[in-house]
Structure 1
């Protein structure tokens, strides 16, 4: 059923997002961020979100796979944006220009929310807009970014939502971030409907981690440590004692503990426990195994001990994890008055030419779909 003019006027104005494309951005991350917005509009039967792709001069931008995307506008076009998301990819240190930094800083002064996908966090950090914020970036850039921007609170999480910043790693992780943002804005029913349309079995949360290859973290300088971790990963159901691990790689127990403290910043037993609990979380979320079976498969001698360790590490008991009840999350700080006003007034300011968001065209095409307006809000 089409939206009547009266209904359109009575509906809240859509939130408007600008996607700033850096050279060599990853196309999969851009699509993962925009597609949930399109589907949110389709399922709601009205325009909850609108979006524009942007570049410095409005000229086509080449993605890392060689395809070119022609942006909707240049950054010089005045748009009333609620949020700006930087889309990065290969070589962000080469792609981020002085003009990007200046424009992003101007958006921050307008109290607009800021975000990134893949390696877009690099641009925000270079603009000084992530100092003190928990930040996610693709694991390939973790070490370099920590070195370049020590004031940024980097994490290996798939995505991070910290106050008015939302940063995501690469691949399909932006899809999870956007689904979580949509859930906050319009409820879990809409977010669940979107994931069903995309045949997306599980929406990952803020506590889910990137799987960072240890070889990337350590390089080839610590073969003994890599060998020990490989042994741990291969023996989660029946954990090997630390003395035995040390013997396998021909080091002393003391040397073993020093290696872990120096390079992984924790004790060997703590790291081994983390591996087992991470595996347990995967089994709880992805299999029908009982909690007792999961505990046994991850090397815990009793279910109460497993539950205690799980709660201490993830902030949530295994039973609640299986039911999808949230545990530790980054607290969402309420928007200030100026930001709230921006959310209510998201109409496009009159640019030099009429600019139509892709959201409007997509919504018009979707009106013939069986799922149109299938999630009442």
Structure 2
């Protein structure tokens, strides 16, 4: 007879219902793997009158779970950052294990929770890329490695939109509308398309890989809203594909962290990941490159990750939440944004008249930026042209200075647009 491990779930939405159903439908194999009977004792919801296709005791009071001495593990599945953090703190202070899927909360408060928890288990596999076990891979499977670099498609919504734009020649807003109609994008898709969601996930992964205690405002985050057909045409012309990537790179004693649209070799494994799928490439100094691919969202995929944490806690496995016994300050430093180095793509709309190219070349030269490839397209029915070019490796600071100077030229008709290029 297996003993019971009692669970309380705060937030019975799409993922919460998925957790309940999987624990019911796969009960035999889950119990066999956990070595205990994972029993959901109670759930907390906002509205008791709402119809739900689950059969567990429900309450509207969070305290009914946090203060219940018979509940061993609290699963937190709400969306609010501060409320989620308060729930997490009270859970750990009451000596209960915690499982959370809230990546935004962890992006801001993961180190505070680690300090409060001490040796109380915290599971958060579901916070990054749904059903892909990337957190366990970094904490356990790759723990013997220095992580040289990590590149990830961390947001399925943006990846779906870019796939539609590239494969079906859709503009951004058409692709976004289609993603919303199919349920891949929220009614308010801001956090997905502006890179914030991917930024939250990258910060969590960077803590595990490098011990970096950074907040979203500390790193470079850009979204996909300004990408157009010219950018896609340029990328295709030179053998690239555009992806919204979360990128982490270690160099000496510093780590650069950034999220932005990226031109990457279309033959790279990560460049072949399409639609709503997620994928993460990790390069370790001993194992080389490994790739993790799968569903990054959805009830079953995310619930599967939640239950994997429950099983791990049931087995009695407990390690420091973020995988480092030393504090981040004794390990690596975050590289300042302006010192990040990359190749860049520029898109400029300019007056089609003599002297314009000379002014552009002068600004690039002043900022130590040299051109690698170049395309010029005439804008029909207008005395204007589009200038598209890529650069050799330069710094973020030099590029930002050049952009500021371009904006002051009367011959520049629209705000210049840049995108970074990954060749490694």
Give the alignment's TM-score, normalised by structure 1.
Answer: 0.35
Q: Which has the higher contact order (CA 8 A, sep 6+)?
A: 1
